[in-house]
Each structure stands twice: as C-alpha cells, then as structure tokens.
Amino acid sequence: MTHPMQRRVFLMTVAAASTAAVGTSAFAQAMVDEKDAQAAALGYVADAKRVDAKKFPKFAAGQNCAGCALFQGKAADKAGGCPLFAGKQVAAAGWCSAWAKKA
C-alpha cells in the first residue's frame, strides 16, 4: 500500500515536470471551474471559506492556494497557475485536497 504522502509527492513531481515541459504562456489563462472533473476530484473551491471540513478533515483555517507549495503566482496575485490544473489558474483564496504548505 502506498503511503498517502509518497503519492502526493509523486503527483506533485509529475505535475511540476509536465508544467516545466509546457512552459508558461504570455496570455491570460482561464480560471479553473469548480465543476471540472479534476477540480471536483480534488475538492477544489475558489474560496477556502467554503471547504467542507467534514469531507476534508485535513483542511485547517488559513489554508489557501496562495500558501500552497504548488501555487505559481506571486504572494499579491489574486490567481496563479497550478500544475494540477495545467493551462488554468486557481484563485489565491481557493483550496484543494492536494494543498501542501509552502516551505
């Protein structure tokens, strides 16, 4: 059985590698739709205040995409890229179950 943390690290590594291969674009990217299959599978919400804490018990107040190691925007950005949603942006105030604290 794979340890959940090992799986998360693997998924982040694969996602980061695929993003690096694609590169960044100079044009504005679309925002992730919460109803998108990938977003729904990860429990993504554009506003972390709406996280279902019973469904996602690892969620803690104060967690959001801007504070996630995967967030590719700057601290002051309202949205930024995320390798889990290639070609789309996530809200800085958002959250998903792949959240990992920035180092």
Name the CATH superfamily, with its identifier, for domain 4-91.
Answer: High potential iron-sulphur protein (4.10.490.10)
Q: What is the pLDDT of residues 50-84, one digit of tens each?
A: 999 999 999 999 999 999 999 999 989 999 999 99
Is 74 buried (19+), middle (13-18) or exposed (0-12) by CB count in 10 A? exposed
Average pLDDT, the chain: 86
Check pLDDT > 90 for residue 94. Answer: yes
pTM over 0.75: no
Q: What is the pLDDT of residue 24?
A: 46
Domain ranges of the chain: 4-91
Q: What is the pLDDT of residue 75?
A: 84
Q: Are 66 and 79 in contact (CB under 8 A)?
A: no
